[in-house]
Amino acid sequence: MNHHEPDPWEAAMTDAFDRRVRDLHEAPLDLGRVRTRAGGIRRRRVAAAAAGLAAAVAVPVALVVSGSLGGGSTAPEPVAPTSTGPQTDLAPSYVEGTVLRLADGSTVDLPPGAAYDSAVQLGDRVVAAQRDPSDGSTTVVVLEDGTARRFPAASGMRVDARSQVAAFITRDGAVQTVWADGEATLGQGYRGWAVSAVSGGPDCSDPDGDCRVLLRDESGPEGPRALGPDGVVEEPVPGAIGLLDVQGDRWLATTSVDELVPQTCGGLYDADAGAFVFETCDHTPQQLSPTGAYLAATNTYTEGFGPSFVAVLDPATGAELLRVEPAPEQLLGRLAWVDDDTLAFTRATGPTWELLTVTVGEEPVVVAGPTRGLAPDPPTSSPFGLPLGR
Amino acid sequence: MSLVRREPSGRRDADFEAYLRARQPALLRTAYLLTGDRHTAEDVLQTSLAKLYLAWDRVHDRGAVDAYVRRIMVNEHHSLWRRPWKRREHVREELPDTAYRDSYDDGQAEALWEVVRSLPPRARAVVVLRFYEQLTEAETADVLGVSVGTVKSQCSRAVAALRERVPAHLHPASPEEGR
């Protein structure tokens, strides 16, 4: 006879399992708890997907909160004679403490208090984001005609690649844009979201314009979203888990995260053609240069200490044209375009930071620093605030 | 590029909530058997359901959702087990809880459970899926991403461990002995 006799041990196991759980009929999880956990997972995925830029932004936030500013009343202490470098057309604009240093060498004194995270000049206005080190809260300050208007913000401010428009989310969930001679609210109800990038404009109230604010859900499970003057842009990149930048119909997006490798993949998507121009898992695209001639990128994953290299890619092919890798003891921080082929980035060596620029085909040049970081140990809080998203 | 308002996610949530209501107790029982303690089971189940929630729009075959969640739970528990701090936190000498101890058990079920709890996560997953969920060898292999041969060998090893470690007087009677 060849029929299968049930093994008594297998039957005993079935019995033991049934007895073990037969009184377990509970359902302890409701939708709210599942959504909360989903939000955490989503945040980690988005953070990993956003890679270098998000990590570089996130680390200073955490460290400023617990850092050594002592209430934020003191400026970063120079540890060596500070070289501000030659002020040329290629100098970036950046904020240092409470001073906005403009590309032409002039400076703007910002309202005193804690060091500013980022600032940008928009015509006769200056818009600056100040982070309170005591509680980590952000306030966006709009300076104009000798007056300062303050907006409690939910997260940091972003500026477009041409430095023409700034975007942030107010603490009550309004998506706010500000440009040289106007301001507009593009959406309400975005508590728990953050701005990934802003692009186009500068008039974000013009329904025929191309102003776009790219958002990520930091507290829930929603996918990325793009807002324009007329509402939500419906799924500009099908299946994207992160939107990083946009120019016209070309969208930079993250499409997948493998948390085990770990690795992120993404690329440049042409919405007109409905196809990716290129996709890569070797780089995380970060930002198109002002005219879209180049694409800044970092490595595909960072674990909270900033990108391990910064690269410039050809947006037509994804080919790497330039790469800057720090020495083993160095860290990289934020990056921003200075002009169409020059990228600015921050680099830490021990407790001090430098601001550098690099042009495609040339060697990096130090334009400011070394200056002691806002948090001395570990040295991950750059005193040089580049206008985020620029 | 067209600009349109996104549809509200209320219907999606209602669908998911209905699944949650219907299947959560059964999934919690499986999670408990996979993990061996209530706290970890809830943790694994919550993460697994959260991942399901994130993927809900992409799960087109609603009939396959349980299999999908089982796969996530097994992987989640396995990765949890690989984290040293988690292992330290949950390795205990005593039973983690006694809420489900069976007063009618003559000791055999308790003894078997203790041996099953001591199996490595993958081997425990094999026997839970085979003998509690009553999946076939092929279905079990599919959930775990292993070959049918691996499922068979893991089952054999589990039974061998039971024979060796369960006291003789608690061994189940063979079909012949029972007749």
User: A235-261: per-residue pLDDT in tens?
Assistant: 899 989 889 999 989 999 988 876 555
Q: What is the ipTM of this complex?
A: 0.82
What's the rounded Cα separation, in Å, for the pair A209 and A28?
49
Residues A202-219: pLDDT tens digits?
Answer: 999 998 889 999 998 876
Chain B, residues 108-137, CB within 8 A of chain A, namely 108-110, 112-113, 116, 127-128, 130-132, 134
- Answer yes or no: is pLDDT of A70 > 70: no
Residue written as token pair 């040329």? A88
Q: Which of B21, B109, B130 has its CB closest to that of A27?
A: B21
Identity (one letter) of the amino acid at B131?
F
Query: What is the percent of chain B where pLDDT is above 90?
Result: 22
Residues A270-285: pLDDT tens digits?
Answer: 999 999 999 998 898 8
- Inform me whether the C-beta atom of residue B179 falls under 8 Å from chain A C-beta atoms: no
Collapsed DSSP state (helix, strand, coil) of residue A119: strand
| Minimum mean pLDDT range among A36-45, A118-127, A239-248, B23-32 | A36-45
Collapsed DSSP state (helix, strand, coil) of residue A107: strand
What's the rounded Cα separation, in Å, for the pair A203 and A165?
8
Residue written as token pair 């921003």? A336
What's the rounded Cα separation, in Å, for the pair A62 and B41?
32
Collapsed DSSP state (helix, strand, coil) of residue A339: strand
How are beta strands A193-199 and A212-217 bridged, if at all?
Answer: antiparallel
Q: Report the CATH number of the A34-385 domain.
A: 2.130.10
- State whether A8 and B172 contact (CB < 8 Å): yes
Q: Annotate chain B with three-state secondary structure.
A: CCECCCCCCHHHHHHHHHHHHHHHHHHHHHHHHHHCCHHHHHHHHHHHHHHHHHHHHHCCCHHHHHHHHHHHHHHHHHHHHHCHHHHHHHCCCCCCCCCCCCCCCCCHHHHHHHHHHHCCHHHHHHHHHHHHCCCCHHHHHHHHCCCHHHHHHHHHHHHHHHHHHCCHHHCCCCHHHHC
Closest chain B residue by Cα to residue A271: B1
Radius of gyration of chain B (CA): 19
Q: Across the A/B interface, how many CB contacts are shorter than 8 Å?
A: 140
Contacts of A14 (CB under 8 A, 6+ apart): B131, B132, B134
Q: Angle A338-A341-A343 (CA atoms, 0-180°, nearest 5)? A: 45
- State whether A234 and B46 contact (CB < 8 Å): no
Residue pair A9/B92 in contact (Cβ under 8 Å)? The answer is no
Domains and CATH numbers, chain B: 11-100 (1.10.1740), 102-179 (1.10.10.10)
Contacts of A70 (CB under 8 A, 6+ apart): none
Q: A167 has which bridge partners? A: A158, A177
What are the φ and ψ backbone dihedral angles of A263, each rounded to 5 degrees?
-160, 145
Residues A321-364: pLDDT tens digits?
Answer: 999 988 877 778 888 898 888 999 998 887 788 999 999 888 89
Interface test with A, best of B112, B157, B165, B174 (most A CBs within 10 A): B112
- Answer yes or no: is pLDDT of A303 > 60: no
What's the rounded Cα separation, in Å, for the pair A290 and B23?
52
What's the rounded Cα separation, in Å, for the pair B170 and B165?
10
- Inform me whether the C-beta atom of residue A230 falls under 8 Å from chain B C-beta atoms: yes
Range with the largest mean pLDDT of A113-117, A303-307, B90-94: A113-117
What's the rounded Cα separation, in Å, for the pair B101 and B114?
12
Encoded tokens for A192: 């728990």
What's the rounded Cα separation, in Å, for the pair B143 and B64?
11
- State whether A16 and B108 contact (CB < 8 Å): yes
Beta sheet of A365-372, edge-to-edge order: A330-339, A342-349, A352-359, A365-372
pLDDT bracket for residue A119 (50, 70, 90) = very high
Mean pLDDT for the stretch of residues B20-24: 93
Q: CA A149 from chain center: how many Å?
A: 25
